[in-house]
């Protein structure tokens, strides 16, 4: 295993004597003096011990492995922040205990008690003021770093930010946020509502967050039929994994990705900024300009009738599945029905789907229209200004 902190203090390199015990005391005293959070203290203890270390306060637990990565608590619950009460500490060493394990556990317990007393209880899902500071580019790196540390994040490790919105320009419902949080990997998680969009800040040992898996979870919880979108449930934009000091950039990316999310049957409830690529240029265009595009206006006019709405949904399905028969199977109709609906869209729009340029224009127009519809809802709720 690669040492994550070359030159750091390690029990395996210390003799069993008074000087070694003092070295441990000094190590935790230095962390305490710098205002280290409970998460940082437990993580440091695990790095020093070179084995998992677990701490609990009033039923809430923190646990890190020998590499400094968060672990689920022993009973399978996700890692949670310590907030109050007297701490219990356990060094989870496999095999024979190290002679200094007891000293390390005692000193960690003492330092955690001091830290809890100095910073006071921390709310379960984050202090709004601190989160706003950590996500705002108007604050300096020093202020953002301190805010993250007080929230329990390790300022030396990457994090990412998600933007979660509810339907019709409203904030996401508590149950929807619970669904999103429940689908995230174990780690340190805090949320704050900014405007009508909720920011979710996540720090985890994983290098990736599976946007497709999260989309499927939301799609299963809030299913949409082929012809009727599910107006409930959240939309989610996922920012890139960045250095903790760059949290405002991940927040900006998450909000941009959010504009590509949709509750339509062939849209996605969850979009990762890393997957958008050059399509991100569309997010720079004002919503009114998107809605004024001639192709978008023509699609809106077509969708104004019941039959036209069915034709557009069929066209979207065809663009996703790529063949008449696959589209017919997905919509549970005959392939000749699909062909007839596509022909009506072609006539209305002046497109010829056999022509590569027209196929590209058609898919782009559908994408622009979806962004315009999503933007209208988000802008109706004054989507997440920069804090």
Q: Looking at the DSSP assignment, which residues form a beta bridge with residue 272?
A: 238
> Which segment, 196-205, 245-254, 304-313, is predicted with the most confidence on average?
245-254
Token representation of residue 65: 């492995």
Kindly report the length of the chain. Answer: 387
Task: Name the one residue in this structure whose structure tokens are 């300022």.
Answer: 155
Q: How far apart are CA 165 and CA 237, in angstroms?
A: 9
* Sign of the dihedral through C-alpha 319, 323, 329, 332: positive
Backbone φ and ψ for 153, nearest 5 degrees, come out as -80, 150
* Predicted TM-score of the model (pTM): 0.61
Q: How far apart are CA 264 and CA 227, in angstroms?
A: 8
Domains of the chain: 11-119 (no CATH), 128-283 (3.30.70), 288-380 (1.10.10.2840)
Task: Name the one residue in this structure whose structure tokens are 């999103």.
Answer: 180
pLDDT band at residue 381, thresholds of 50, 70 and 90? very low
Q: How far apart are CA 100 and CA 2, in angstroms?
A: 23
pLDDT at 125: 37
pLDDT at 249: 95
* pLDDT (average), residues 121-139: 68
Statement: residue 74 has pLDDT above 70? no
pLDDT in tens, 87-119: 789 999 988 888 888 889 888 888 887 765 443
Q: How far apart are CA 91 and CA 65, in angstroms?
A: 10
Report the chain's C-alpha Rg in angstroms. Answer: 26
Average pLDDT, the chain: 80
Contact at 8 Å (CB) between 254 and 163? yes
pLDDT in tens, 217-239: 888 888 766 555 556 778 899 99
- Strand, helix or coil for residue 272: strand
Q: How far apart are CA 112 and CA 208, in angstroms?
A: 31
pLDDT band at residue 158, thresholds of 50, 70 and 90? very high
pLDDT at 28: 87
- Strand, helix or coil for residue 382: coil
Q: How far apart are CA 177 and CA 69, in angstroms?
A: 25
Lowest mean pLDDT among 115-119, 297-301, 311-315: 115-119
């Amino acid at each position: 295993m690669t040492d994550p902190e070359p030159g750091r203090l390690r029990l395996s390199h210390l003799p069993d004597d008074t000087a070694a015990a003092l070295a441990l005391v000094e190590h935790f005293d230095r962390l305490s003096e710098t205002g280290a959070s409970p998460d940082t203290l437990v993580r440091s203890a695990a790095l020093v011990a070179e084995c998992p270390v677990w701490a609990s306060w009033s039923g809430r637990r923190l646990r890190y492995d020998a590499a400094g990565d968060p672990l689920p608590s022993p009973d399978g619950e996700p890692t949670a922040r310590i907030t109050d009460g007297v701490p219990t500490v356990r060094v989870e060493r496999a095999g024979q205990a190290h002679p200094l394990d007891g000293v390390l556990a005692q000193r960690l317990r003492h330092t955690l008690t001091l830290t809890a007393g100095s910073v006071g209880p921390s709310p379960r899902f984050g202090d709004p003021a601190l989160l706003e500071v950590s996500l705002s580019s108007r604050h300096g790196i020093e202020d953002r770093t301190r805010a993250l540390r007080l929230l329990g994040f390790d300022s030396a490790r990457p994090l990412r930010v998600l933007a979660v919105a509810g339907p019709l320009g409203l904030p996401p419902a508590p149950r929807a946020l619970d669904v999103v949080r429940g689908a995230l990997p174990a780690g340190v998680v805090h949320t704050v509502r900014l405007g009508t969009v909720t920011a979710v800040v996540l720090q985890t040992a994983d290098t990736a967050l599976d946007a497709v898996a999260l989309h499927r979870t939301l799609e299963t919880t809030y299913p949409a039929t082929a012809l009727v979108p599910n107006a409930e449930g959240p939309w989610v934009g996922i920012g890139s994994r960045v250095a903790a000091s760059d949290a405002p950039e991940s927040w900006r990316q998450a909000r941009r990705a959010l504009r590509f999310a949709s509750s339509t049957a062939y849209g996605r409830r969850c979009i990762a900024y890393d997957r958008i690529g050059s399509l991100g240029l569309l997010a720079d265009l004002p919503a009114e300009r998107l809605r004024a595009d001639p192709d978008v206006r023509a699609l809106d006019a077509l969708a104004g009738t019941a039959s036209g709405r069915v034709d557009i949904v069929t066209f979207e399905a065809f663009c996703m599945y790529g063949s008449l028969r696959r589209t017919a199977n997905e919509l549970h109709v005959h392939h000749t029905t699909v062909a007839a609906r596509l022909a009506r869209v072609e006539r209305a729009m002046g497109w010829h789907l056999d022509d590569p340029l027209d196929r590209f224009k058609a898919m782009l127009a559908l994408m622009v229209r979806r962004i315009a519809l999503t933007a209208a809802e988000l802008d109706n709720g004054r989507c997440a200004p920069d804090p």
